[in-house]
Amino acid sequence: MFGTTPPTGFTPSELSSLINRRTIDEHAGEAAFLWLQRQQAVTAPNFRLEHLNMLDSRVQAHLAALHVAGRAGWDAALRIGDPEDVGSIFVLGCLAFDGADSDRMRHVLAVALAAPAGISAVVAALAWLRPDAVRSVSLLLLRSPVAAHRVIGSEVLLEHAMHDTRTLEQAATDTSPMVRECGLRAIGETCCSALQGLASRASEDAESKCAFRAAWSLALMGDGASAERAFHLALEAELPTVRQAVEVAMRRADPRWVRGAIRSLAASSRTRRLAIIAAGAFGDPAVVPWLIKECDDELIGGVAGEAVSMITGVDLRRLDLDRDAVEPSTSLPLEDQSLPQPDPDKLAAWWRAGAARYATGQRHLAGQPITSTALVGVLRTGYQRQRRAAAIELTTIAGAATLFRVGARADRQLRSLAP
């Protein structure tokens, strides 16, 4: 229409009105949809960093198109989904906070606070953006009279590794339990030794979630007794973080206590699944024959197979050690539904042929004895749950300054892991 010469006398918002609305709507819808896929991929047993990077590149391309479209991109983001759709909240959050538009930011915060999981979607949006673009607003949110705002502020500072001792202490001593829980978790994930005393006192917090997070953080920093306490707190209070408690406790507590805890969990049908997860986290190849036997049970067979893979590194699908695909059972926990169902006979034969490669009594992760070099290798090439395990191990074995964030934007992870 205008030839090769750009039209003059138009503002950016007027130019955006000339853009094909259907195309912009497609960008908004795809950005939201792909981000939802990404959220599942971050904790999926069959995704590696390279897969996450491909998915992230697609999300970023759609967000960039919306950003270029200006007002038309914002309007398209408003039109997708319903007000409680977390994918649309993520997209709106990226556009509002990247543009530092105060009215749009207030709108996003209001929508997020009214939606289930809306807070996590806003945190994800701010974590997606450049650290320098969100630092000031995160500090403002941390000073807000609204507790949910303070949660967002603390979480975003943590995601971008921008917490300092003052902001950590502020969050960890907040009057709101949900803010306090975030702050106490951040102490551990940043390995802030200056606040170990605060975390130790908080492990007696009247709020079970806060007491757990304090003990969990101390465990993450290498305190074996706190690892046991976090385990018992999560189990007794039936907290949704019980898997996190198990994964840290098995890697931090005294090995004699760990073996006893696994036996105790395995003795009850109610906690047998946790026993299998615990055995995989501990990583002693001595438990592999027992895990293979547990593969016979369809309700926990997938978890048992994953525990074998966590220790030995065996890829059940690639080596054809799984059963024929069946419709996943809805009675399984969501995190188990994408796991392959191992074929116990094939897996037992594989183990008989290769068991000598794994030294009993020596902890392994993804097929390698646990060393700093091996753990970095898992972060580069392992599956997401293996990578999460490697990140936990590294906080002690290599004296890592912070817990490596396996859910961060893939391009940032790749830069951190570059040789």
pLDDT in tens, 120-177: 999 999 999 999 999 999 999 999 999 999 999 999 999 999 999 999 999 999 999 9
Q: What was the pLDDT predicted at 375?
A: 95
Average pLDDT over residues 16-35: 83
Q: Is the pLDDT of residue 242 over 60?
A: yes
Q: What was the pLDDT predicted at 101?
A: 84
Q: Is the pLDDT of residue 114 over 50?
A: yes
Q: In the chain, where are the structural domains located?
A: 11-158, 201-253
Confidence of residue 2 (pLDDT cuts 50, 70, 90): very low
**What is d(CA 288, CA 268) in angstroms, rounded to the nearest whole number?**
19
Q: What was the pLDDT predicted at 290?
A: 97
Q: Is the pLDDT of residue 95 over 70?
A: yes
Q: Is the pLDDT of residue 419 over 60?
A: yes
Question: Which tens digits make up the pLDDT trace of 260-295?
Answer: 999 999 999 999 999 999 999 999 999 999 999 999
Q: Is the pLDDT of residue 346 over 50?
A: yes
Q: What was the pLDDT predicted at 53?
A: 96
Q: What was the pLDDT predicted at 22?
A: 84
Q: Is the pLDDT of residue 60 over 60?
A: yes
Q: Is the pLDDT of residue 100 over 60?
A: yes
Q: Is the pLDDT of residue 7 over 50?
A: no
Q: Is the pLDDT of residue 202 over 70?
A: yes
Average pLDDT over residues 387-396: 93
| Averaged pLDDT score across all residues of the chain | 91
